[in-house]
Structure formats: structure tokens, C-alpha cells
């Protein structure tokens, strides 16, 4: 007569609908791992906020975005990744992402904003890399959705597809340099951190990506 | 005293030998935590949540009670008994009686209860002999007289009866809370997201609903899940499967020769792109019989025609896969471009392919 003998019936849709918005003080943030925790005021990602990761292609923007969701995914939060075609799942694991709770929409084509909105309804964090220049209106709607749902949106902003609105938090990679000996070892990035509200003062940080450098080689 | 909603599910109150009851309790606790993050498991079958916060949200205590009953039924397929009163002791009694005690009325409610509810037969027996049959009558005895008539256990219970303490000894199973805390570990209130012992957590159910919407919008292959598979190249090791298809592969953890190792490219091209590799005299770079490059790579050419300088390279690392099969000689090479981008190339039959980008 115990649970695993009979699969547990899912919570009713009605109940789930009621459940979602109760984010009391302790659940108002999503955890950040190292080294991001030290950089961001409060040491966590606040629900309802949008973070922009601004970097030229190949400078580590995607790695940084994935690094930001790692700790939350390990702690049980679900993550959506929209517009990242051909994700390197080994690298994601190295960046600390728990792949068991990641949903990918690799090629959303014209419906990247709609798919992102769909995911925001059900997961806690969504990484989006718009495949084309994101329109002002679509972005505003998404950021409103994020606020309403209490999710966290991490948008990749690249020179060919810049995020058109100011975000609550922004990571701009201003410099990126690989460390290499007999092979690539890791990348040192210079990050300028800014944003609205409590994060309005920009600060500069240096981090290694992946941050768990050498972890897999012990 | 804090106004509490107590949930009593008698059928899961006794520990079963195979541990199923504990799992059921944990699953229910997890689900109730979604309704209110401050839900406590007091002992097997008994849960309480502070009622003021959630009732504001759900629009009154009635609605909270309804949501809780529904939740218990969804998770355990059992009917719960619920009640609301001030303090843990009264809250449990109210649940067993299925009563919502109006604010401020918990004292009166407690006083009407039979002496047995204090949980000690010896105390009840002594009380009855003295003509004391209710908690209220017991409470009315002057504290100084308690020692004359009852044993030492009566002191604490007398204070409970008088409403000075909110719970009776033994009401709370502290070892159970420790066991569950250990299982839940992290201590952060994100545990509601996780399913226990292979059961589906509420987070997964929500994610599934979202995934269905995306699939409905973009088609069956549009939403995917990933897993790390055993293999030598990032492509071999990237297993993307449509969401909802039978489970993906597992990483065997075996060491694979020719695996370039950490870090791995964040983009692992499913369909590698053909590229040309040239030396400084614009001659094609070849991989020799002994696995060495014919010259130092200086340029990479992409199609459509785009030429970039290579500032550094490492490798080639031969892939000793299917070594008996002469036609499949593969090697991998890491390169850095003048713009600082890092890429992973593969060579097969003297053709170069871009297979990974370290973004």
C-alpha cells in the first residue's frame, strides 16, 4: 500500500495553478553557484527578474549563462534553454548544470519568444538566445511574463541580436582570453556587472570559465 | 499562540515495515510545502501549517482547507481530517474532530476535551477518581496542588491544559523530522521541486505542462532533453532526444581514448561543418601516417568564403576507435582564432570538419 506500488496521481491542474505564485521570502530567489554568488548582490537570482549576458560570439557568453543556472538546477529547479542549437551537454555538465532538469528548444525558428513564454510558465529559469534581432514589443512582453510568473530569464545578447531593453542584472564580457598549454585549459573572462536597482553600480570581475577548472581531471 | 491548520491522515500514521509509509509522508509533506512553504511534519500522518499566510492568498480558511484536502487526496488517495485552532495541541484535536475553531475560542475548545487527550492513561485514571473528567477541570486545579495528587508527568500537562504550553510531550516525533531533514538535505526551501524516490515532484509536473505546450506549438521533435552518453567526441557524447521519448543513455564513466577532455565545447555541432585548414603558404594541412600534422596551421577557411588566422593549436589527438577499420582514421584538433574564439576540429580521410565551438 505504498506510493511506489501505485504511481502517485499528479496534482490536479487546479491545485498547480493555485500553488505557483506562493513564493514566500525564502523562495524569492534562486541560488547561484561559485563564483557568481560573490558577484551578485544578495548572492542569488531574484525571481521575476531578467538577466542579460552580453558577449560577442565565442567570448564565453553561453558558458556564463549556463554557469548562472547550474546551482539552481542542482537544487531541483527546472531550466529551459531556447535557441541554443547543438548544445554541448558534456560542457553543460562541466559547468555544473544538472541535465535531468533541463528542457531544450534548440530550433524555435520564428517562435522563439512564444516558446520562451511557454517555458516561463512551467520552469524556474529560462536561457534564451534569440535567433534573430529581438523586437522591442516581444521582449517587453517576455519580461512582464517573467515578473508575473516569478521566473528568471537569462537572455543572451550578441552584437547581431542585441537585447533591446535594460535588464535587472547584466553581465557584459569585455575581455576573454584562453589559458592553454598542451591543450585548452580554461578561459579567463573580464565581466562588467551592472543592472537596475540595487545593482546599478557597475563592478568589474574576473572569472574562469568553466569555473570548475580541472574538476574533471583529478 | 499561532493559528495552525492541522492535517491528520490516519492511514499513514503507522510505520510500515517496508518503509512505504515514511515515503508517503515525505511525498505528502513535499506537496503540502507547495501550498505553504512552512508546512511542518509533526509525526507520521500529522502535518501543520500556519494558516494566516496562505488563507490571505487563497481567500479565506475555507479555501485553504479545500486545497489541503484536495492535495492530500491527490498525493495519497486518502481522505484527510483537517482542523484549525491555536497551538499545536489544539490544532491536532481540531483536525481529529474536523473543526475550525474560531480565533480566540481554542481555550474553550480545549477545556471541553476529555482528560484522555493529554495522552497519559495514569493521569486520566487519577483524574477520574478525583472527579476530574475534562481538560478544563484539570486546568482549574491550582498548580501548587498538582504534585499532591498526580505524578511528575502532570506538571507539563497541566501547563498545556492551562494553555501555557502549546504542545504535549511526545506529540512531535523529533527523530522523524531529523530523518526527513537529512533526506531533504539542502535546507533550502527548494525541496518541493524534487521528487523523492523516483516519484515525480511538483516542479517536474509543471515543467511537463510547459513542455507539452511547446511541443504543441512547434512539433514533436522541437523540445528535447539531453544526456551525457559514453563516447569519444563531443558529438558521440551528446545525446539529445525528443522530450517524452524513452529514456536516454547513461554515462558509463569509462575512460575513452582520444577524448579531448575538460573543458568540452559548449556547442557540439550535430552536423559538423566542412572547413579548410592551411599553413602559412596556403597549403592544405594533412594528418600524416604517424598522426602528425604536415605543417603548422595558420588559417582556417569557412564556407561561404571566410578566412581567419589561427593563433594557436593543440593536437592532433588520434581517435583510436575501430582501429581495425582503416577507412575510419580520425583525429581531433583544438584551435584558437585571432578573435579569441576556440574551436574543435576533426579530421577524417584528410577532410577537416568544425565539430565544436567553445562559446
pLDDT of residue B88: 94
By mean pLDDT, which of A60-74, A161-175, B188-202, B204-218 is the weakest? Answer: B188-202
Q: Does B314 touch chain A (CB under 8 A)?
A: yes
Q: Is residue B190 part of a domain?
A: no
**Residues in chain B where the model's pLDDT stays below 50:** 185-199, 247-258, 322-325
Q: Is residue B203 part of a domain?
A: no
A2 neighbourhood in chain B, CB within 8 Å: 16, 18-21, 23-24
- Burial class from Cβ neighbours inside 10 Å (0-12, 13-18, 19+) for residue A53 reads buried
Residues B24 and B135 in one domain: yes
B239 DSSP β-pair partners = B227
Q: Is residue B161 part of a domain?
A: yes
Q: Is residue B338 part of a domain?
A: yes
Portion 272-311 of B in contact with A at CB < 8 A: none
The last residue of one of the domains, among B168, B184, B200, is: B184
Of A8, A111, A213, the CB nearest to B200: A8
Helix axes B61-76, B20-35, angle to 10 degrees: 150
Residues B8 and B150 in one domain: yes
Residues B53 and B179 in one domain: yes
Q: Is residue B320 part of a domain?
A: yes
pLDDT of residue A175: 92
Q: Is residue B210 part of a domain?
A: no
CB contact under 8 A, A89 and B226: yes
By mean pLDDT, which of A1-5, A44-48, B93-97, B326-330 is the weakest? Answer: A1-5
Residues B41 and B177 in one domain: yes
Average pLDDT of span A116-132: 93
**ipTM greater than 0.85, yes or no?**
no
Residues B10 and B144 in one domain: yes
At B164, which CATH number? Answer: 3.30.70.270
| Model-wide pTM > 0.90 | no
pLDDT digits (tens, 9 = 90+) for B219-228: 878 888 876 5
Residue A214 has pLDDT above 50, yes or no: no
Of B71, B186, B227, the CB nearest to A11: B71
**Residue B127 CB contacts under 8 Å (≥ 6 apart), including other chains:** B115, B133, B137, B138, B150
Q: To the nearest whole percent, how much of chain A has pLDDT over 90?
A: 45
Tell me the pLDDT of chain A averaged across its residues: 82
Give the gap in angstroms from C-alpha B73 to the nearest C-alpha of chain A. Answer: 9
Number of domains observed in the structure of chain B: 2
B191 neighbourhood in chain A, CB within 8 Å: 76
Q: Is residue B296 part of a domain?
A: yes
- Domains in chain A (CATH in brackets) are 29-217 (3.40.50.300)
Give the gap in angstroms from C-alpha B96 to the nearest C-alpha of chain A. Answer: 23
Tell me which residue of A198, A216, A163, A175 sits closest to A42, measured CA to CA.
A198
Cell 484535536 sits on residue: B93
Q: Is residue B81 part of a domain?
A: yes
Tell me which residue of A84, A81, A85, A56 sits closest to A69, measured CA to CA.
A81
Residue A190 has pLDDT above 90, yes or no: yes
Dihedral Cα A70, A71, A77, A78, nearest 10 deg? 0
H or E element, residue A115: helix A112-120
The last residue of one of the domains, among B184, B211, B237, is: B184
Portion 151-180 of A in contact with B at CB < 8 A: 176-178, 180
Give the gap in angstroms from C-alpha B102 to the nearest C-alpha of chain A. Answer: 25
Q: To the nearest whole percent, how much of chain A has pLDDT over 70?
A: 82
DSSP B7-58: EE-GGGSS--TTSHHHHHHHHHHHHHHHH-TT-EEEETTEEEEESHHHHHHH
Of A4, A72, A103, the CB nearest to B207: A103
Average pLDDT of span A199-214: 72
Portion 3-42 of A in contact with B at CB < 8 A: 3-6, 8-16, 18-22, 24, 26-27, 30-31
Site from B247, B263, B313 to mutate, A interface, most A CB atoms within 10 angstroms: B263
pLDDT digits (tens, 9 = 90+) for B9-18: 999 998 877 7
Site from B198, B262, B265, B331 to mutate, A interface, most A CB atoms within 10 angstroms: B262
Portion 134-193 of B in contact with A at CB < 8 A: 186, 188-191, 193
The whole domain housing B273 covers: 267-358
Amino acid at each position: 500500500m505504498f506510493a511506489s506500488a501505485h504511481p502517485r496521481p499528479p496534482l490536479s491542474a487546479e491545485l498547480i495553478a493555485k500553488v505557483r505564485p506562493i513564493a514566500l521570502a525564502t523562495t524569492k530567489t534562486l541560488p547561484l553557484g561559485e563564483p557568481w554568488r560573490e558577484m551578485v548582490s544578495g548572492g542569488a537570482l531574484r525571481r521575476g527578474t531578467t538577466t542579460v549576458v552580453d558577449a560577442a560570439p565565442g567570448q564565453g557568453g553561453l558558458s556564463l549563462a549556463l554557469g548562472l543556472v547550474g546551482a539552481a538546477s542542482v537544487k531541483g529547479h527546472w531550466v529551459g534553454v531556447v535557441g541554443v542549437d547543438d548544445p554541448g551537454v558534456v560542457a553543460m555538465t562541466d559547468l555544473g548544470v544538472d541535465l535531468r532538469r533541463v528542457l531544450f528548444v534548440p530550433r524555435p525558428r520564428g517562435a522563439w519568444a512564444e516558446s520562451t513564454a511557454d517555458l516561463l510558465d512551467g520552469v524556474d529559469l529560462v536561457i534564451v538566445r534569440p535567433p534573430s534581432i529581438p523586437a522591442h514589443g516581444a521582449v517587453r512582453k517576455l519580461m512582464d511574463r517573467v515578473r508575473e510568473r516569478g521566473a528568471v530569464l537569462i537572455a543572451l545578447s550578441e552584437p547581431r541580436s542585441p537585447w533591446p531593453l535594460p535588464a535587472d542584472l547584466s553581465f557584459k564580457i569585455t575581455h576573454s582570453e584562453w589559458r592553454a598549454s598542451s591543450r585548452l585549459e580554461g578561459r579567463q573572462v573580464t565581466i562588467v556587472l551592472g543592472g537596475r536597482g540595487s545593482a546599478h553600480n557597475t563592478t568589474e570581475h574576473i572569472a574562469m570559465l568553466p569555473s570548475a577548472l580541472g574538476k574533471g581531471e583529478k | 499562540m499561532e493559528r495552525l491548520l492541522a492535517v491528520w491522515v490516519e492511514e499513514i500514521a503507522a510505520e510500515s515495515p517496508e518503509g512505504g509509509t515514511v515515503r508517503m509522508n515525505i511525498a505528502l509533506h513535499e506537496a503540502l510545502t507547495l501550498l505553504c512553504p512552512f508546512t511542518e511534519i509533526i509525526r507520521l500522518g500529522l502535518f501543520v501549517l500556519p494558516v494566516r499566510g496562505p488563507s490571505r492568498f487563497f481567500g479565506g480558511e475555507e479555501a485553504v482547507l479545500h486545497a489541503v484536502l484536495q492535495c492530500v487526496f491527490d498525493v495519497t488517495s486518502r481522505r484527510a481530517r483537517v482542523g484549525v485552532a491555536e497551538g499545536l495541541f489544539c490544532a491536532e484535536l481540531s483536525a481529529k474532530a474536523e473543526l475550525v475553531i474560531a480565533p480566540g475560542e481554542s481555550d474553550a475548545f480545549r477545556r471541553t476535551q476529555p482528560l484522555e487527550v493529554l495522552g497519559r492513561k495514569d493521569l486520566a485514571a487519577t483524574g477520574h477518581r478525583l472527579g476530574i473528567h475534562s481538560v478544563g477541570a484539570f486546568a482549574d486545579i491550582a498548580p501548587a496542588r498538582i504534585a499532591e495528587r498526580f505524578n511528575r508527568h502532570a506538571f507539563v500537562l497541566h501547563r498545556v491544559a492551562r494553555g501555557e504550553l502549546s504542545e504535549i510531550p511526545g506529540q512531535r516525533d523529533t527523530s522523524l523530522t531529523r530523518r526527513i531533514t537529512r533526506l531533504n538535505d539542502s535546507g533550502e526551501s527548494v525541496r518541493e521541486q524534487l521528487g523523492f524516490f523516483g516519484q515525480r515532484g511538483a516542479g517536474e509536473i509543471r515543467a511537463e505542462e510547459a513542455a507539452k505546450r511547446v511541443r504543441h506549438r512547434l512539433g514533436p521533435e522541437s523540445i528535447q532533453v539531453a544526456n551525457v552518453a559514453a563516447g569519444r567526441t563531443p558529438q558521440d557524447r551528446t545525446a539529445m532526444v525528443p522530450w517524452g521519448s524513452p529514456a536516454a543513455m547513461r554515462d558509463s564513466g569509462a575512460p575513452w581514448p582520444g577524448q579531448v577532455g575538460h573543458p568540452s565545447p559548449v556547442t557540439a555541432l550535430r552536423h559538423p561543418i566542412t572547413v579548410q585548414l592551411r599553413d602559412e603558404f596556403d597549403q592544405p594541412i594533412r594528418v600524416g601516417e604517424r598522426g602528425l600534422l604536415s605543417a603548422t596551421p595558420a588559417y582556417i577557411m569557412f564556407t561561404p568564403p571566410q578566412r581567419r588566422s589561427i593563433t594557436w593549436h593543440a593536437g592532433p589527438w588520434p581517435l583510436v576507435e575501430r582501429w581495425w577499420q582503416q577507412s575510419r582514421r580520425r583525429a581531433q584538433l583544438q584551435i584558437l582564432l585571432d578573435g579569441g574564439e576556440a574551436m574543435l576540429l576533426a579530421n577524417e580521410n584528410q577532410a577537416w570538419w568544425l565539430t565544436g565551438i567553445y562559446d
